[in-house]
Structure 1
Amino acid sequence: MHSATDIILGLYDAWHARDRQAWVDAFSPSASWTNIPTGETFTGPVGMATNYQNWDGPFPEGRCENLTVHAGADLVVAEFIASGTHTGILTTPDGPIPATGRTLSVPFCDVHDVTNGAITTTRRYWDQLAVLNQLGLL
């Protein structure tokens, strides 16, 4: 069985490879993901695929740069700089944001719970004001 760190590193590898199925497969079937700044919660395989698309669609070449992982037995914290160019529609709880063509470089922090070789919950934190400012929306 892979360690919790290996599972999380595999998740970000799947993101960089644009392997949506490997991304979804990293989660347990009943997993939940909450984007703390927006209050969105996604559950199960369909939810994980939707959340993936919500980031991949607007930032199809987005990267998690300077990834740092801090791990305990079943808890992994991943810090990174989310970077990319906003070239697609960004889906938000307040409605869609059309592509701005602007680049983004914002610190993110993901807190992952891992049980029996799969991610069971993720809580994602970022500075929403910095994102809106960098996209020219403020």
Structure 2
Amino acid sequence: MSNIELHQDVHRAMSEKGAEEAAEYFSPDIVLTDEARGLTLKGKEQVTGWLAAWKSAFSDARIADATYLESGDWTISRFQGRGVNDGPLGELPATGRQLDLPFCELVRWQDDQSVEVAIYYDTASIMVQLGHMDPPA
């Protein structure tokens, strides 16, 4: 299976089933950097918990309109993260509003498992779309 197919499988698992199923593709010592929040997570348990928090805030969370590129042991995906905010997002209450946000994700693969992930997105757009912040003037 190619690294792109693995990346697609992780996205499909997350969209259709959730964090635990996506975690089947993670190495035990995976490192994920959430660049938007300046957060680095280490190990399968922490990364799975981070994904589960997204799925808890957006129970219908799905990855849509994804494109994939491969270079060596890295894959890159651009996609839209979509879902209705029907659960708390950290300390913020659910709003019932739709999120439709562009993401960029880089994944390094080793022995058919993801060992390193960097994800980029815009936190201000999340706050505006969910009604927690007014759009900039």
TM-score, length basis structure 2: 0.92
Equivalence map 1:1-138=2 (5 Å): 2-91=1-90, 96-138=91-133
Instruction: Tell me which stretches of 4 or more aligned residues in structure 1 moved more than 4 Å.
Output: none
Residues 109, 124 of structure 1: 8 Å contact kept: yes
Distance (whole Å) between structure 2 residues aligned to residue 101 and residue 19 of structure 1: 20
> How far apart are residue 21 of structure 1 and its match?
2.9
Distance (whole Å) between structure 2 residues aligned to residue 125 and residue 36 of structure 1: 5
Letter aligned with residue 50 of structure 1: G
Distance (whole Å) between structure 2 residues aligned to residue 23 and residue 48 of structure 1: 10
Deviation string, structure 1 residues 79-124 (Cα, Å, up to 9, x no partner) = 1111111010112xxxx11101111111111111111211011111
Distance (whole Å) between structure 1 residues aligned to residue 48 and residue 36 of structure 2: 19
> How far apart are residue 5 of structure 1 and its match?
0.9
Aligned length: 133
Distance (whole Å) between structure 1 residues aligned to residue 62 and residue 120 of structure 2: 16
Where do 5+ consecutive residues of structure 2 fail to align? none
Query: Residue 97 of structure 1: SS of its match in structure 2?
Result: coil
Residues 16, 62 of structure 2: 8 Å contact kept: no
Deviation string, structure 1 residues 3-39 (Cα, Å, up to 9, x no partner) = 2111111100111221433311211110011111111
Letter aligned with residue 24 of structure 1: A
Quick one: percent identity of the two aligned structures? Answer: 24
Q: Which segment is superposed worse, 28-37 or 18-27?
A: 18-27
> How far apart are residue 132 of structure 1 and its match?
0.8
